[in-house]
Structure 1
Amino acid sequence: MPTREMPIEPKMMSTHQSERPRSEFKFYLTTIFLTLWIILSEGFSSAALGVTHSADADQMTAALPESLVQIAPDDHAILVEKSTQTLSVYGLVNKTPVLKFQARCSTGEVAGPKFEAGDKKTPIGVYFITDAYEDRYLTPIYGKKAFPLDYPNFLDRKMGKNGSAIWLHGTNKALRPMDSNGCVALENNNILALSEFVSLNLTPVIVDEQIKTAPPSELKENQEGITAVIGQWLSAHTQGTYHDYLSFYDAAYLPDISWWTAWDNTRKDLQAKDTQIRVMADRIGIYKQGGTWVCLFDYCVESRGDRQEMGQKKLFLERLPSKKYTIVGDVFQTHAQGVQKNPHPLVGAVSRLGLFLETDDYFIEFVQRWLAAWSAKDMETYASFYDASFVSEGMGKTRWVNRKKNLSKRYKYIKLKAKDFKISKSAEKCTVHFYQEYKSSGFSTEGTKTLVLHKKGETWKIFQESWKEK
């Protein structure tokens, strides 16, 4: 398990522990809350066991949590309502959010949204589960499983909020309402049941004081409006100007745009080659809390039927009085492996697609120049075609070139011909097969030569060489 600071342990008072002094107001408030807790516990007797709910006609047409504008395909959404200490899980049935699981939970012992480390409050907002820990990696107080959340998120930091280590986890104590130091605690059987609904960096956890509902028509309006904005924003990557792209962002928020010049140059090069590309969003999830919508999606680029992931992009949007949606936050949730981040993953992803690959004629000409250097006994030029890490027949570059030098001195002439080229290439590697006829003053042979080339910066070098005599 990676070393990291564990979250503050939730405070679970046992029945034999003495209560610290409380004000008369807090005494009555706690009495009322515990009464409500008992009533709710009876109502959750089946749901807390992880009973799956089916989609009936009422659920498909009734008001839904306004947070669930669009659940990503094949995923779920977790809602935590602090006022009732309830955790609910929704999934999609016929593209409609349906309650799948419900259980009691315990949030921070101090009411209100979290603002700073140590305030014993549970944050309010849309968060995503970033990791999962089994009980063998946890101290008993965290129960059988734990899921870290990505608090503080972009908007939290923008508002000056701090703190860390806010988790969803189990417990080895009796579960009591509002009894943690900020985490969301569940009974062990329920944290284990919750596991089947969790996908890392995809499943949202939406925390609010009260989960509000909205008619399906309102959710559809939000979904269509935000999806349209995302589509236009994506199109601006390939078809818009710098100013077109920035027009989707709020006037009070300037995203990092230092990469645009490099991307614009890439776009121009692609246009010169008449190469079409498309920037896409896939598996879009849209979740609302308060006046903010959080959109998470797979950020990709596609061309010639090939697709390259850039990572998971997260946009924060708000709605202006004009009803226009505007982006107030733009971050990556994750980055795709192997894609260069600088100056921007979009530039790196296009590079990995191999859209700027040299033609087959380029590599044929490369081989002809290499053969010409060998035939002319120009050993300095000949050696320049090889990579420093070249290996063939157990020899590195230096030994290989020295061997060729000795042969060049032995023969009066060397003549080579190449034909029947077969070339396979990617963005950083090219394999060239061809039929070679070799004739010198002392030796003649013919057969199949194979060169494996690697791209080093802007040039190609021979990395491996093999020969199969006819």
Structure 2
Amino acid sequence: MIHQKQIQKFRVSFFLNSGLRGLFTGFAICFITWGMAAGVCIAQEESSPSGQMSRVSDSENAPGISEPLQKTDDEEAPEAFLPPNSATPERSPDPGEIEAEYLPSEPETDTELSRSADDDIPAPIPDILIPFDSEGETEYSIVVEKETQQLFLYAYDGTFREVHRLKCSTGKSLGPKAVSGDSKTPEGVYFFIKIHEKKELAPIYGIRAFPTDYPNVLDRIAGRTGNAIWLHGTNKALKDRDSNGCVVLEDENVEKLTPHIRLNRTPIIIVDRLSYASDEAKLEAKNAISALVSDWRNALETGTYHQYLSHYDPEYLPDISWWMEWYQIRKEAEASQQPLSVDLKNVLIVRHKKVYAVLFDQSVSLSGKEASAGIRKIFLKHEDDRFKIIADAYQGVPETRKKENPLILAFHDLRTVPDPKDEREIAGILDEWLKAWSSKDIERYGGHYASDFQSQGMNRTSWLNHKKRLNQKYAYIRVSKKGLTVRKSQERRIVSFVQSYESNAFKATGVKQLVLKREGGQWKIYRETWKKM
């Protein structure tokens, strides 16, 4: 983008140095431009039927694809297709897009924009980026300004700083996205949920693509539709407002952003025009939001149903079907004198207009053991001198765990974590079992199996006879393990590890799973399975 100070300095210098020669040149340019325009109009009239000028089709089909696959859902669509909201066929520039010939312009191959005419002056930080308590790791945020067709990358390690300022292209239609197919880029706070590499994409999408979570919970509440809003590269020349809703960059700039994008963590905030506020105002918002989130956490950990809901806007009713089970879990932990707590870490705060988005890692701790309870995001609005939650959702929850509340699942996960003493004991037992197996000591080997052992249709006796025959068949046997995990399941333990087996005639690596039970005061193998890797 050409900054106003640069333009003004150039114009003053131009008219002082060029004098009348510039005036005559200007008249010549006007005369030539008038003549070219007249010629273009005549040529278009001669080549178009009935004197009508031709225009570019409004079709959303990507160039080079005669019948693109229609994607209705990011999660269910095949990986190798292309999103409908992307680059459109080349078009002639609008009059407002043509730069005057006497204005200096950036070289066409340079899409890393100059930050400022005064490089020693720090770039101002937009008011959409709110300070938060950094946990030591540098966090990155991506900001898109549609009006100027610019994308910014900001780093935060206690203070914000601008890292990159890049040219981009957004939807060809103005305004925020409202319905599917409107060729508009949405505005708001979104997060990247996937990554598609070049081999999965058609050339029009460049070297890499990052799908976002549009439509998010606020979009769905507002009735906004559409999907497949991506940040991606391109194999075409980049033009302003030339996509069907995606944010498009040149491939080299996608490469610049890639190391700084973390799925379900790095936000992309899309606005029409950036605005700015004082650091004091941002700090005040941060402190008020932190206080609300802390009170909300306390209500979740020890409060009542009504105390929890008091943090929400009256017009928004969150899913609360899980509360009674969660309440019983808290009571059970209290009765057994096991300290139960809910912890929030890596809190990130950004905003779009009057709505603030807060993202954090949520976990549950029980008696010193901790389990993840998902990544949670809440949306806040400041009204009547206080913040209220207007929507909340979990970010990036796997499909297999969507049916249950992550808090409940985290508690159940904690109950499956064995006592560290059990883990050490089991690891030692397995080492002895593998030594006996490798040395063909069938008596010691068989001593590790329970009396009611079953596997592959064999009982303990049949299993040991099978192993005896293999011992006689092979000159040597070597068996080892790595990556041991132990999981508690009521009175039993589920043990998994990568097993490597080698003999003079056979070699294989796979995942071994054992179910152990107590028998005679010791852990014995009750069930055994193996799956080749």
Same fold (TM over 0.5): yes
| CA deviation vs aligned residue, 1:339-380 (integer Å, no higher than 9, x gap) | x6554221221122128989x9xxxxxxxxxxxxxxxxxxxx
Q: Is the 8 A contact 2:82 2:202 kept in 1?
A: no
| Partners of 1:117 and 1:161 in 2: CA distance | 8
User: Which of 188, 205, 212 lines up with 1:149 in the alignment?
Assistant: 212
Provide structure 1 residue ranges, at least 5 long, that are not aligned to the other structure. 20-26, 361-385, 401-423, 433-449, 455-460
SS in 2 for 1:222: helix
User: Which of 76, 89, 108 lines up with 2:140 in the alignment?
Assistant: 76
Alignment match, 1:31: 95
* TM-score normalized with structure 2 length: 0.62
User: Which of 154, 157, 164 lines up with 1:90 in the alignment?
Assistant: 154
Aligned-residue offset at 1:251:
0.2
Q: Which amino acid aligns with 1:351?
A: H
Q: Is the 8 A contact 1:299 1:311 kept in 2?
A: yes
User: Which of 313, 322, 334 lines up with 2:396 in the alignment?
Assistant: 334
Alignment match, 1:269: 332
Aligned-residue offset at 1:88:
0.3
Q: Does 1:10 align with 2:86?
A: yes
Alignment match, 2:13: none
Alignment match, 2:188: 125
- Please show how residues 71-470 of structure 1 align to structure 2 within 5 Å: 73-93=137-157, 95-322=158-385, 324-335=386-397, 343-354=404-415, 390-391=453-454, 395-396=458-459, 426=488, 428=490, 430=492, 452-453=516-517, 464=526
Q: Which amino acid aligns with 1:77?
A: S
| Partners of 1:352 and 1:228 in 2: CA distance | 29
Bigger share in strand: 1
SS in 1 for 2:270: strand
Q: Is the 8 A contact 1:352 1:427 kept in 2?
A: no
Q: Which amino acid aligns with 1:6?
A: L
Q: 1:285 to 1:399 in 2, by over 3 A?
A: same
Q: For this pair of structures, how many residues does the alignment match?
A: 375
| Partners of 1:164 and 1:119 in 2: CA distance | 11
Q: Which amino acid aligns with 1:157?
A: R
Q: Is the 8 A contact 1:429 1:452 kept in 2?
A: no
Alignment match, 2:50: none
Q: Is the 8 A contact 1:66 1:213 kept in 2?
A: yes
Aligned-residue offset at 1:387:
11
| CA deviation vs aligned residue, 1:430-461 (integer Å, no higher than 9, x gap) | 469xxxxxxxxxxxxxxxxx99239xxxxxx9
Q: Is the 8 A contact 1:341 1:348 kept in 2?
A: no
Structure with bigger RCO (C-alpha 8 Å, 6+ apart)? 1
| Partners of 1:152 and 1:37 in 2: CA distance | 42
| Partners of 1:220 and 1:231 in 2: CA distance | 16
Aligned-residue offset at 1:215:
1.5
Aligned-residue offset at 1:207:
0.3
Q: Which amino acid aligns with 1:74?
A: T
Q: Does 1:42 align with 2:111?
A: no
| CA deviation vs aligned residue, 1:58-109 (integer Å, no higher than 9, x gap) | 54xx75211111466432000000000000000024x111001111001111
Q: Is the 8 A contact 1:127 1:151 kept in 2?
A: yes
Q: Is the 8 A contact 1:391 1:463 kept in 2?
A: no
Alignment match, 2:49: none
Q: Is the 8 A contact 1:387 1:397 kept in 2?
A: yes
Provide structure 2 residue ranges, at least 5 long, that are not aligned to the other structure. 1-75, 422-448, 464-485, 495-513, 529-533
| Partners of 1:2 and 1:389 in 2: CA distance | 47
* TM-score normalized with structure 1 length: 0.70
Q: Is the 8 A contact 2:85 2:181 kept in 1?
A: no
Alignment match, 1:24: none
| Partners of 1:254 and 1:218 in 2: CA distance | 30
SS in 2 for 1:42: coil
Aligned-residue offset at 1:391:
2.8
Q: Is the 8 A contact 1:308 1:353 kept in 2?
A: yes
Q: Which amino acid aligns with 2:83?
A: P
Q: Is the 8 A contact 2:115 2:165 kept in 1?
A: no
| Partners of 1:211 and 1:36 in 2: CA distance | 26
Aligned-residue offset at 1:398:
11
Q: 1:121 to 1:320 in 2, by over 3 A?
A: same
| Partners of 2:144 and 2:259 in 1: CA distance | 17
| Partners of 1:37 and 1:300 in 2: CA distance | 59
Q: 1:307 to 1:427 in 2, by over 3 A?
A: farther
| Partners of 2:326 and 2:98 in 1: CA distance | 58
SS in 2 for 1:69: coil
Identity over the aligned pairs, expressed in percent? 34
Alignment match, 1:445: none
Q: 1:52 to 1:213 in 2, by over 3 A?
A: closer
Q: 1:103 to 1:341 in 2, by over 3 A?
A: closer
Q: 1:301 to 1:32 in 2, by over 3 A?
A: same
| CA deviation vs aligned residue, 1:311-350 (integer Å, no higher than 9, x gap) | 111111111122x111111111123798x65542212211
Aligned-residue offset at 1:190:
0.8
| Partners of 1:464 and 1:292 in 2: CA distance | 56
| Partners of 1:157 and 1:180 in 2: CA distance | 23
SS in 2 for 1:217: helix
Q: What's the Cα RMSD here?
A: 3.9
Q: Is the 8 A contact 1:50 1:190 kept in 2?
A: no
Aligned-residue offset at 1:35:
3.1
Q: Which amino acid aligns with 1:453?
A: K
Alignment match, 1:372: none
